[in-house]
Structure 1
């Protein structure tokens, strides 16, 4: 007879930063098991070990706020932390709070099925393990399901292929290698300058040029760190009251209220501010008025033309068909300067797309390229991909992939109608990556914990939402986006980076304070939009 499945109150999927905090928070009142596909903690910062991987939010902000001693004892060596320091921090947190005892590593969730007769989720893992639980908390991450090109001939290529989110541990000797990197998003922009220094020749395959500004990364100033540690409580509260849960200098005037000379001075200050994303808030209307946005676009293009010496290469690197910020603004350390190196070349594959891997490299519509190593910086099936790759079955046998066939639905990004007791952190239609994700994730985990506490205190065993509530939230999400330029680009924000992926804008751009206010009010108004039974 088969062994009985393990019983738990809560199964958490993912041991990234939100998953770790969910373990810490929920195990105080429930029996908790966390299932993690990798063999270590850190989520994004466990998987993404590519050269140059670095956060684009200031380290003093991009960190936990739930424990004051942790805030005071931890030291960040740089203003914008590199991957090894972020992974080290995640491991420190896991050890300091003894979280590993609740985590099953190298355990991939294969299927979830809801039993309506018992209000329990049945969880199956890829290695045949079985668990039964009351609640599932999916802390699977917005950028955790790699998008791998499906061009033919992959098995014929005689060199090595690495996806940036599955980078091998240990150093790679690229000194005599011809390397090709596919993609020019945030990851490629971080990795390419370092690869160019390490390899014989680097070929950058670009479909869509990106806007990027210098990171201004620098060693942590002890006085700056001390100031933050002395005022962490106030700073955390201030962060939660800002649009993106990050303290930056917000503007007071429209771009149209300044002369061209004044605009240039403001933008120069933003470019040199050593504060990521300052260009996006140079004026009050950068993200809501295409003409104001174009002022910033042209400034960024002028910077590219100043930096890149070859005029033809510079023009290829200048984005011209989408607003700045409509794709995630990239932050770099010498990306544009890299194209002045003799061992770097740029290939535009928008008009002549990549068609296949070959034994010796890649073939586009008009040429072949000999390569020893191919790096696929081709992004992710963002926001929903990690969940749709699990077979999730809710009420009446409804599969999540069917429910989301025409695009993701949710209520505040927490719940999907027909999937009771299934909670998501940074799910579709939340602020997600437009908000600083550690602090925002803590807030969302606390909100979920509060819903579970109320459910049990009020004598219920099941909480769900309705299609009507999903539609009302979708209207709010669409309405917020309609006043902006966010939908004027093909990006992972709207799933257009994945061939055939349907649906609209997947990110709530109404700001984190409004998101918190609306979801909190729904609970205070008798769990409006939720169904408890």
Structure 2
């Protein structure tokens, strides 16, 4: 007779051990809630547990890319302005030890199903390994890059599986690619970071590009001594005043592009460019992401800077086309550190898959309409079913057995980008219709995590059993998301921000484009109004 799996009874089950989940475990536990954190990985760090490919690093600068708790930053010192993935994993280990998280964390647990019981007002949550959790609250922190995507190319099973890898599954035992023939497919942030590294060791390196990435100079800095920390509290407070959740240095200029003369504009662009980071994107003229003419001015400056770094006119045109291919800043901007110079190396080739599409994968490599390229190793940096994929990958059943995948079949529906009607006592962070991919991760984790805790405390104080987003509030929030999106140039561009990278996925703006200050204001108004838009039982 089969044994009945033992249930773990909790106030809240937290899924995901990145910034969002770790923050919630610490603060919910401090508030007296019985909680567990689970993750499919075998350690903390969220996306940084998986992203260990060569060159992997964050593109949000420190000190902003960390928790604001002074007990942490007073002791922790970063070695670089943009830390690599190993240093980020080390940071999470430090945080876990400092906050004593391991006693309430379970790793190698894949959550496969969650079912709401309206009679008991609890979630029954099941893992692929047979573990069962019963919790009042179901808190999801799956992040925006939890579900990998690989195109269904003909013959993809013919190439040796051990030599074909998605970068988020990079082998822990580093493969020696020195002197090998290596391909990278994709020019998102991951593709660019890989290209910079692998082009230096491969005998032949080929990058397959569908769309040029309007990457900006990273301006990496190696720190030889600890950063001065007197201004840290002000820096962290300033995150909620910046569009992207960084700090006061990332405020849009209080004027439009054409309020300045051409000479003044050139000086502004040069100043932003020289600082590196996302300054040229998120601290520029206020109309850059909203007016076509202003956007084109930014693109023309970017194009001039990039083409000057590439020797071959043919490659200049593929990487930085004379005619603007899409609105600047409306696909995910990457930060690069010598990326464009690799195309001046004799061992590097660039394949424009628009001109010569991939026909099939063969036993030896990749066949395009032009030729067959032979490789020893192929890195398929084709991205993720972003933002909604990780949530919809779990069989989540709310009231009346409704599945979230069915509810969101024609598009995501949320209130505040954290809850969805018909799914009580369930919250998610870094998800659809929140600032998410246009917000510094720790900023979002702390703002959303604090809001969730306040809702739970509100429930506890009033002895309430159930909270869910109201349908009217959900519809109004969706209207706001679309309003902000349509004010911008973002819908004019094909990108994963709009769900365009996944065949059959509804085309919609998946990100709240009102910016962190407006989003934070909405959270504050909701909580101060006794959680307007939510219904309680």
Aligned position for 1:343: 347
Q: Any unmatched runs of 5+ in structure 2?
A: none
Q: Does 1:437 align with 2:441?
A: yes
The answer as to whether partners of 1:141 and 1:386 remain within 8 angstroms in 2 is: yes
Aligned position for 2:242: 242
> For 1:104-503, what aligned pairs fall within 5 Å after superposition?
104-158=106-160, 160-220=163-223, 222=225, 225-226=227-228, 229-247=229-247, 248-250=249-251, 251-318=253-320, 320-503=324-507
The answer as to whether partners of 1:16 and 1:44 remain within 8 angstroms in 2 is: yes
Q: Any unmatched runs of 5+ in structure 1?
A: none
Q: How many residues are treated as equivalent by the alignment?
A: 529
> Shift of the alpha carbon at 1:194?
0.6
TM-score by length of 1: 0.96
> Shift of the alpha carbon at 1:528?
1.7
Counterpart-to-counterpart distance in 2, 1:221 and 1:238: 26
Deviations along 1:155-212, whole A, 9 cap, x unmatched?
A: 2113601111111113321123111100001111111011000111111000011101
Counterpart-to-counterpart distance in 2, 1:265 and 1:513: 28
Counterpart-to-counterpart distance in 2, 1:352 and 1:275: 33
The answer as to whether partners of 1:249 and 1:278 remain within 8 angstroms in 2 is: no
> Shift of the alpha carbon at 1:249?
4.8
The answer as to whether partners of 1:145 and 1:380 remain within 8 angstroms in 2 is: yes
Aligned position for 1:87: 89
- Match of 1:419, SS state, is coil
Counterpart-to-counterpart distance in 1, 2:273 and 2:530: 47
> Shift of the alpha carbon at 1:265?
2.4
* C-alpha distance 212-3 of structure 1, shift in aligned 2 (>3 A): closer
The answer as to whether partners of 1:280 and 1:286 remain within 8 angstroms in 2 is: no
C-alpha RMSD of matched pairs (Å): 1.5
> Shift of the alpha carbon at 1:222?
4.3
- Match of 1:301, SS state, is helix
Counterpart-to-counterpart distance in 2, 1:516 and 1:267: 29
Q: Deviating runs (4+, > 3 A) in structure 1?
A: none
TM-score by length of 2: 0.96
More deviation, 262-271/291-300: 262-271
The answer as to whether partners of 2:14 and 2:38 remain within 8 angstroms in 1 is: yes
Deviations along 1:432-454, whole A, 9 cap, x unmatched?
A: 12111112211110110100110
More deviation, 100-109/165-174: 165-174
